[in-house]
């Protein structure tokens, strides 16, 4: 098909936005990350004490109310959390970039967002079960307007990307990626490709998700992946630790403004870094477990390095997928060793998930924001709760606290259920 049309088009990061359990401000969230302050807390739901899952990364009620106040029309007519998280993070990324979307060429500005599955609400089925236990489809069709606005029945997967585009008048390329936990990094990679190919000049990219609801929580319990301990919630997520006990779910969004270099320079934009490479792969191994040798993950990282045209030794830091599950952490560590060889011993590696929880489809969004800030500021946040090192997880996970170090190039990983892998590289921008 001819490949990429114009590799000379460089892609830079000019805006950052997020809404996570750490807060709604990028600067506040980054400060907390550097200080090792976690946003994970106890599940705040009615009758939560009897739930198998106790620790979650929830956006606070006050932050949620602030988002609702910022988008009253969408909150009244849509109401679904992931959509409003996406709108907030997109607005923050645009504001941070200094782009006036209303004065930009709408056909050259687009949206590429990851989104998880809409909310399954048991109460949207129960009212239409007849006394014999059968679903009354006729009555349901007549009373469909009673279905809650947050329900999956009213929210298709591409709702966040469509509403962000409509709200800001972004009429260029638009897409929704839904490939489990690799989704947001894939969305970032595809937005990068769109600008690199010349299809667009500006792209909002990242992801939004929330599965902190009864059905969403029990789904991961049934898969055997969720952390069900009743210890201190702040210490529940323990990537690379010998006592890690499963992922801790979070919610929120991370969106960035990606821009063609000359487009950014002509308007005097601040540049956080340059996206230089992207890779994706599939384990083709098992739906609920990664390839134990990390073959697919290694292939994803190697493809990103090849795409960037750099040697493994050029990478200084990796923001790992780091879920805190027994299988992922060992497989990712092995994949890093197989990709980087002896240089793996010199890499700084951390996980952001003990700070926010696992944002599932959206996880690569905030993690890319943190990676960009690390490149821009030469600082790396710590991996929290790593107090019992696993001998099979033997890299430098920055467990002692934040670290100051020159970071010329960094890589961010996202690996999803089903074996989907994605890796993206960001480097210091040099004109």
Q: Which among 167, 263, 343, 358 is annotated as catalytic?
A: 358
pLDDT at 101: 81
Global confidence as pTM:
0.93
Tokens of 225: 């992946």
What Cα–Cα distance (Å) separates residue 269 from each residue in 12, 184, 195, 220, 262? 10, 24, 17, 42, 10
pLDDT at 1: 34
Q: Please give the chain's pLDDT, 431 residues, in tens.
A: 334 445 679 999 999 999 999 999 999 999 999 999 999 999 988 778 888 999 999 999 999 999 999 999 999 887 789 999 999 999 999 999 999 887 778 899 999 999 987 766 677 777 888 888 888 888 888 888 777 777 776 677 888 999 999 999 999 999 999 999 999 999 999 999 999 999 999 999 999 999 888 777 887 888 788 899 998 999 999 999 999 999 999 999 999 999 999 999 999 999 999 999 999 999 988 777 788 889 999 999 999 999 999 999 999 999 999 999 999 999 999 999 999 999 999 999 999 999 999 999 999 999 999 999 999 999 999 999 999 999 999 999 999 999 999 999 999 999 998 889 999 999 999 98
Tokens of 149: 């606005």
Check residue 321 and report its DSSP letter.
-
The stretches of 241-400 forming alpha helices (DSSP H) are 261-266, 295-308, 326-340, 353-356, 364-377
Quick: pLDDT tens for 310-354: 999 999 999 999 999 999 999 999 999 999 999 999 999 999 999
Domains annotated for the chain, with CATH where assigned, are: 11-119+155-427 (3.40.47.10)
Quick: pLDDT tens for 154-191: 677 888 999 999 999 999 999 999 999 999 999 999 99
Q: Which among 263, 321, 376, 381 is annotated as catalytic?
A: 321
Contact 20, 64 (CB under 8 A): no
Distance (Å, rounded) from C-alpha 258 to C-alpha 7? 16
Query: What order do you get walking across the sheet with 273-282 strand by strand?
Result: 174-177, 109-115, 202-210, 251-260, 11-19, 273-282, 420-427, 409-416, 317-320, 348-351
Check residue 58 and report its DSSP letter.
P
Q: Is 393 a catalytic residue?
A: no
Q: Which among 148, 158, 167, 181 is annotated as catalytic?
A: 181
Which sign does the torsion angle of CA 241, 245, 424, 110 carry? negative
Q: Is 381 a catalytic residue?
A: no
């Amino acid at each position: 098909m001819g490949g990429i049309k114009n590799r000379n088009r460089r892609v830079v990061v000019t805006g950052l936005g997020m809404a996570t359990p750490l807060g709604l401000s990028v600067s506040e969230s980054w400060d907390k990350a550097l200080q090792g302050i976690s946003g994970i807390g106890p599940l705040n739901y009615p009758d939560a004490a009897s739930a198998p899952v106790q620790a979650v990364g929830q956006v606070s009620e006050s932050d949620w109310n602030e988002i609702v106040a910022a988008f009253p029309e969408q909150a009244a007519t849509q109401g679904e959390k992931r959509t409003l998280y996406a709108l907030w993070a997109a607005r923050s990324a645009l504001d941070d970039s200094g782009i006036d979307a209303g004065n930009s060429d709408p056909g050259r500005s687009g949206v590429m967002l990851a989104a998880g599955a809409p909310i399954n609400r048991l109460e949207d089925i129960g009212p239409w079960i007849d006394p014999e236990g059968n679903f009354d489809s006729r009555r349901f069709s007549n009373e469909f307007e009673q279905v809650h606005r947050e329900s999956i029945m009213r929210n298709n997967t591409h709702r966040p990307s469509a509403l962000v585009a409509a709200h800001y008048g972004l009429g260029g390329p638009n897409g929704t990626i839904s490939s489990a936990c690799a989704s947001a990094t894939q969305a970032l990679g595809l937005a990068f490709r769109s600008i690199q190919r010349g299809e667009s000049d500006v792209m909002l990219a990242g992801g939004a998700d929330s599965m902190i609801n009864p059905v969403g929580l029990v789904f991961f319990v049934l898969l055997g992946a969720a952390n069900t301990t009743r210890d201190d919630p702040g210490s529940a997520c323990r990537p690379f630790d010998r006592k890690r006990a499963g992922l801790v779910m979070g919610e929120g969004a991370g969106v960035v403004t990606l821009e063609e270099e000359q487009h950014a320079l002509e308007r005097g934009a601040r540049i956080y870094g340059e996206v230089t490479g992207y890779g994706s792969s599939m384990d083709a191994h098992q739906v609920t477990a990664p390839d134990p040798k990390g073959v697919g993950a290694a292939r994803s990282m190697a493809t990103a390095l090849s795409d960037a045209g750099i040697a493994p030794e050029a990478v200084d830091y990796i923001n790992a997928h780091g879920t805190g599950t027994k299988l992922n952490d060992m497989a990712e560590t092995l994949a890093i060793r197989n990709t980087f060889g002896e240089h793996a011993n010199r890499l700084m590696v951390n996980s952001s998930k003990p700070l926010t929880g696992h944002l599932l489809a959206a996880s690569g969004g905030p993690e890319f924001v943190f990676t960009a800030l690390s490149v821009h500021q030469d600082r790396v946040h710590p991996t929290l709760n790593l107090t019992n090192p696993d001998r099979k997880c033997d890299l430098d996970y920055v467990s002692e606290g934040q670290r100051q170090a020159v970071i010329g190039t960094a890589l961010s990983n996202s690996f999803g259920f089903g074996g989907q892998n994605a890796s993206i590289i960001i480097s210091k921008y040099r004109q």
